[in-house]
Structure 1
């Protein structure tokens, strides 16, 4: 897992600094819509929907917005039909990039994503060109300041609940799971009194790519352009750069 914790620390800081409230709610609404469309509108029977709703509530999304997205997906409210797509490509100096989108107009979205890549020294690739460089894993974070439990206790609790790996990094316990076991581990540890600072099923790079200052700055701009797009849900990459550049991300 060398390098992964550094990458996730960057993601954690980025999430904490993201103040674009309306855009965040729109992204959550699309996540909820897709999960309900695929697995039904009952969070108790649909783990993907439960995760999407929990993430929305963690960002203080109003219950009315959550219920409206579920009703759209289950046919109880008129609305757009969204399609889930993943674009893969290369940022400057060959940095691996994956972009997950939910869109009701894939031609528009493809054009916008392609423009962001080309404007910042990158290019879109074929499906599968970088996916093999990432692993989908459940990821949960417990801040050390939020618990009296020590490292050994956290590790035993997490592994007993079904986690694959636990790391201690920069004042936090980072727990990794198989995606299928994510909700089981989360529920078991919450029932044992643990509170999470972050929970998600995400794509984690196998290795990180180190580039020069110029390429790193272009990558910052590329990620920013992509994340500003309404259709973009997540951007994953394997950039490794110095602390100043990473803080910009």
Structure 2
């Protein structure tokens, strides 16, 4: 605001100077009427200048106001620092908690690593302890499942049959227990073979899939095959 009063004061000074010169010129030219009018304008400009100057002085913020603002700002900053700064007890408690959490995390990671190493060691020992014939039965079972799409029961019978692989029942059971196969998909692939190569009906394919003289799939596996046969 005081800038506005300063500008008005400067403009009024210019007006005083201009009207003052005009007043002198009018009186020198003996034009009293115009001279008096210029003199009145000059007086008005002087009045405006005085008022604007006084307002300018009043509007300028005093040093005490600046001091109060600075004191208030400093107090606010100090209060914020007090609120954000931790006490020694708070720092100690926070550090203790962080140390405890880190120790727990390290302990958990160590236990997980030990458990994994133990599981791997047990798996390795178990694999080493499996008889060669058991491993061979599993390999043969995987071959039948992946290339001939046989059922679980069909593979077991083939592994133990004296006209087939002639493995002992224990080896064949180990193979069946450890083979990873989607038996539903095997039933579907076998059904597709019957449908494409022998043009069999759905009912005939179903019977062939579940027959003990056929593929020996379960009823659920056979139904899955029929439901998804294209």
Q: TM-score when scaled to structure 1?
A: 0.17
Q: Which has the higher relative contact order, 1 or 2, with Cα contacts under 8 A spaced 6 or more apart?
A: 1
**Structure with more helix by fraction:** 2
User: By percentage of residues, which structure has more strand?
Assistant: 1
